[in-house]
Structure 1
C-alpha cells in the first residue's frame, strides 16, 4: 500500500501526520514539505499523498496499522478525529506504539483550557502522553474560525444567520492556518519539547461582532439571533444530526455564553513572529463559500 513507494529524500525529520487532509493537517503538511521534512501522510486507505509526501495506511481503530506506519518515524503530529470518542481504546494505543517505535517527539493538537477541564478526551490523552514519558508539545488552540466555513456554513449562506447559543460571551477565535504554522515550527525546530502553547487570535469577539464583520465583508445582512440552547438543538435535530453531537456543540457554546472562551494569549504571535490572522481577513479569504 502506502509504504511500498520510496519516500522522497529530505534533509529534515521524518514526520507522520494524522488528520492530514483536515483544516489543520493540510496546511501543516504543506509547511513541513516546504521546511524540508520527510512527510508520511496517514489515512485509512493509505493512498492520499500530496506532492512531496508518502501515503501510509493508518487507522486509529486498527492497531495492526500502527507499527508499520510509525516504523522509522522521528516525529508525530497527533490529532484526535471527532469520530474517535473512546480514546482508551483507539488513541492511547497509538501513543504506546509511537513510544515503542522510538518516536522522539509527539505534537498533540489539544484544546484551550484543557488543564482545567479533566473530563474532555484531550485531557486524558495529555495525561497519558505525560505518563508514557514521550517527549511532547501540546498545542492548545481556541475556537477554530473554520467552524464558520464548515459546520455553520449552511446557516450563514442559506439563512443569513450566525445561529449559535453563545449569548453575549466573547470568543478568542483562531484560524487553523495559524495553528498549522505553529505546528510546523514545533516539528521542524528543536526546543519545543515539554512545552504547552495556548493558541488564540489577537482579539476576543462576541458573535454579534462576528455577524457584523460578515455583513460588511459579504455585503449582505448576516444576523446573530442569539438563540437559546433549545432552539439551537431543535434546528440541528431537524437535520437528523445525532443527539450526542448536538449535545457536544451545545456544551461548547454554553462555555462561550458563560464568558469562559474569551481568553487571548500571546503565544501565537510570539511563535510566528507576526500578528495572527484576523476574523475579518478569514472571512475575506473564504468569502466565496458563503455566497
Structure 2
C-alpha cells in the first residue's frame, strides 16, 4: 500500500491534507516534532512519527518505507543547505519516489526565496516532484491576524493598495492530495490562486459585511512591525512577512491562474465564503 509522509502536519495545510488522506486508500503518517502534543491537535487516530528537519537521527525511522512525501518548509528554517537539504538527502536514500512541495507563488522568479532554493535542490537530487506554488493563504487572517481583527477591528498589514489573489488552504490541501494519489503530476509546477484578486480595503469591507461590525484596513508598515514584535514573533519571520506584503504592495501578488479550478474541477473558494465559514474566530 502507498505510504505518504506529511510534514507540517499540525499546520493549516498539513492538518487538512491529513484529513483528506484519511478517506484515500493509502497509509498516511504525520511527521511531527512531539508526537504527544501533536496527538492533542490531530487526534489519536492519526499515525505519527518523530521528525525534526534539524535532527538527522530521526530521518531513517521517519522515511522508512515511505513512497511519497508532502513537504512543508518550517517558517523558522531559512538556511536550506544546512537545515533542509540533509532531510531531502535522507529521503532520496530511503527510496522516496515523489515529493509534493508546498512552495510559494512566484518562487521560480526569485532565487533568493527559501522556497526557490528548495525547488532547485529537489531538482538537483533527481527525485520526481510536484511544486504547489500557492498564493497568500486566507487562513493567515484567522491565525496571525486574529487578535487585530477581533479585538481592534483592524486589518493591520503593509500591503498598500495592491491586490492579492487569496487562496483557501482547503483548496491547497485538496490539490495536494490529488497530486499525491494520482499519476501524472510528477515534474509539474502549479500556480495556485483564488478566482479573484482583492485589495485589503476590499477584504476589510467583506469582513465588515459578514461579521456585522466595523473592520478597517491599516497599511502602516511601522505599526505592523511594532505589533508583530509585541507578539514576540522572531524578527526573521517578521521580515519574511514584510517581504510578502511588499510584493502585494508592488502589485506582484494579484496574479490569477486557472490551475486551482482545473485541478479541482470547481471554482476556488472565495474570501467571503472563507470569512463566513471561520467567522467564530473574530467574534
- How far did 1:138 drift? 0.4
Q: CA deviation at 1:55?
A: 1.3
Distance in 2 separating the partners of 1:70 and 1:205: 41
SS at match of 1:24: helix
Which residue, 176, 183, 186 being the options, matches 2:169? 176
The answer to whether structure 1 residue 155 and structure 2 residue 144 are counterparts is no
Return structure 1 stretches of 4+ with deviation > 6 angstroms: none
* Alignment match of 2:159 (pick from 151, 162, 166): 166
Tell me the distance in 1 between the aligned counterparts of 2:16 and 2:250.
Answer: 32
Q: 1:259 aligns with which of 226, 251, 267?
A: 251
Deviation at 1:51, TM superposition (A): 5.7
Deviations 1:149-196 (A, max 9, x none): 000111100110111111110001000011100000001111110000
Normalized against structure 2, the TM-score is what?
Answer: 0.95
Other-structure match for 1:269: 261
Contact in 1 for aligned 2:201/2:217 (Cα 8 Å): yes
Q: How does 1:1-291 map to 2 (within 5 A)?
A: 12-47=1-36, 48=39, 50=43, 52-227=45-220, 229-291=221-283
Equivalent residue pairs, number: 279
The TM-score normalised by the length of structure 1 is: 0.92
* Structure 1 gap ranges (5+): 1-11
Contact 1:197 1:267 in 2 (8 A): yes
Q: Counterpart of 1:76 in 2: which secondary structure? A: strand
- Taking only aligned residues, the RMSD between alpha carbons, in angstroms, comes to 1.3
- Give the distance between the partners of 2:156 and 2:263, measured in 1 at CA: 33
> Within 2, Cα distance between the matches of 1:62 and 1:42?
12
> Against the structure 1 CA distance between its residues 85 and 175, is the aligned structure 2 distance closer, same or farther, given a 3 Å change threshold?
same
